Amino acid sequence: MTAQKTPLLLGLIAAVFLAVVPPAAEAESPETPRMSSAYERIDLDACETIEETERSAFVRCATGAPYPDLVFEWHDHGYDLFLAGPYEAGLYGEPNQLDQPPFRRLSAAGGFPGPTRGEDGKVTLEWRVRDADGEWVPFGLIMRETYVLGFSDNHESRRATRLRVIAFDGDQACPIALISGLEDGHNVLAREAIDATVTSLACDGYN
């Protein structure tokens, strides 16, 4: 009789032990905050020109708080983008400091790209934001750009769009993805790429 009850008793003890001891990995993993998107539209033609040279021009586009300003460098090959932070006004530096903190050069890829404008000429910015004790804090930017995909037999350019995906925190920013507008679910893919950095961003791992 005793020999038959022993396996059952041991099984009950094991079940109770597993129920009251949580897995260590779950206890140590950081809590993922709530995330959402906020949208803003900017008029590139109304941005402030802060420096001009024979080959390029720098313009700064002010955004609404708490988002960082954007600085575009227009040149023959398209543009480079600088993310200006910290977010408080007056901390954006001088034009000759654009390659130093708090700026970070976020060079555009090939194809003579430019930000995609709507019918009214404005550019839509999608900011990814996280909930920090009831306050929405930005940590990523998605911007659509138009670029030259190739040329036809008549030497006419064929254009397409892609999403430039940028993640940032208080003192660093980096381009983490470039997603083709032809990709199924490209908007969702861009958000997922940024959201994966919400608890830990290490820009040293990105070019």
d(CA 105, CA 171): 13
DSSP collapsed to 3 states, 143-200: EEEEEEEEECCCCCEEEEEEEEEEEECCCCEEEEEEEECCCCCHHHHHHHHHHCCCCC
The pLDDT of 124-134, averaged and rounded, is: 94
Domain that holds residue 74: 34-205
The pLDDT of 20-25, averaged and rounded, is: 33
pLDDT at position 110, please? 62
Classify strands 123-132 and 35-42 as parallel, antiparallel or unpaired.
Answer: antiparallel
Residue 13 forms part of a structural domain: no
Residue 15 forms part of a structural domain: no
Give residue 21's pLDDT band: very low, low, confident or very high (50, 70, 90): very low
Taking alpha carbons only, the member of 36, 44, 35, 37 closest to residue 63 is 44
Give residue 205's pLDDT band: very low, low, confident or very high (50, 70, 90): low
Give residue 40's pLDDT band: very low, low, confident or very high (50, 70, 90): very high
Q: Answer whether 57's CB lies under 8 Å from 64's CB.
A: no
The pLDDT of 142-153, averaged and rounded, is: 82
pLDDT at position 199, please? 87
Q: Answer whether 177's CB lies under 8 Å from 188's CB.
A: no
Residue 5 scores a pLDDT above 60: no
Residue 1 scores a pLDDT above 70: no
Residue 6 forms part of a structural domain: no
The pLDDT of 76-95, averaged and rounded, is: 60
Kindly report the average pLDDT of the chain as a whole number.
76
Give residue 15's pLDDT band: very low, low, confident or very high (50, 70, 90): very low
Residue 196 forms part of a structural domain: yes
Residue 142 forms part of a structural domain: yes
d(CA 177, CA 195): 12
Which of 23-27, 108-112, 186-190 holds the top average pLDDT? 186-190
Residue 9 forms part of a structural domain: no
Number of structural domains the chain divides into: 1
The pLDDT of 165-192, averaged and rounded, is: 89
Residue 163 forms part of a structural domain: yes
Residue 98 forms part of a structural domain: yes
Q: Which two tokens stand for residue 72?
A: 């575009």
pLDDT at position 69, please? 86
pLDDT at position 80, please? 85
